[in-house]
Structure 1
């Protein structure tokens, strides 16, 4: 009899990519499959019993001809004009669902901070630092995982900025 490797719970294929990227980055948070979709920060916070500000929303924008991932606190809205000025970009506009899928391989409402076909330029909301544990989407609207602010910044190689 041989020792079998521990098996993962039945995760969607997109979430398995996220899981592998997390492990490659040394992040041990487990992906949780929620019974109902948590495609908004409010829904995710309710499902997890945490403050909405502890939800790290993954928002994909289009800026100067390329995708821009903004990891923002669920308690904030991104001020695209102010953020464009802070980044020295001409403009930042919400990406179309097709652009989101092409850039991340994931659908709106479930975009993870990792597991994309190629690394994305990323901004991390400085307000997320206020929470000892934050939650991000795990590649689908039904999956989430916990991590720390420092892990999120390291995982995404993100630029920390005020986004609202």
Structure 2
């Protein structure tokens, strides 16, 4: 062994995972994505962001409007699991198409996060900016214009724009 090498050993004591470690666990998030896809009756994520006229967008708009007509409904304890499933789904879309990754952001309290003790933030792959899960949900629910289509369609437009910015940042077109 060199001087910088470390010897690993199993002491037989299970390490307790942090709240963030539990939340960000890829297997947990993948299971939640599958749960939301089943609920929305969508087979799988596409290979590229949904185009404006994709039939799946209409289905997602209907599902999201039924589940989260307002922030108060989205934040209800009885909706915590499906809200988490949707947040994981939303995150996976931005991860796949905009090079995003989840970061543990400062927790400002339960009234500004969907979670007790963690505040997940998507940091986008083309710059250092990001949005918390709470902020994305609030943007989708409170700031969309019904004249422009459904709530998820507005997020899908944002996703297409971010995917393009990410591709350009990587030298693509």
Q: TM-score, normalised by structure 2?
A: 0.25
Higher relative CO (CA 8 A, sep ≥ 6), structure 1 or 2?
Answer: 1
Q: TM-score, normalised by structure 1?
A: 0.26
Q: Per residue, is there more strand in 1 or in 2?
A: 1
Q: Which has the larger radius of gyration?
A: 2
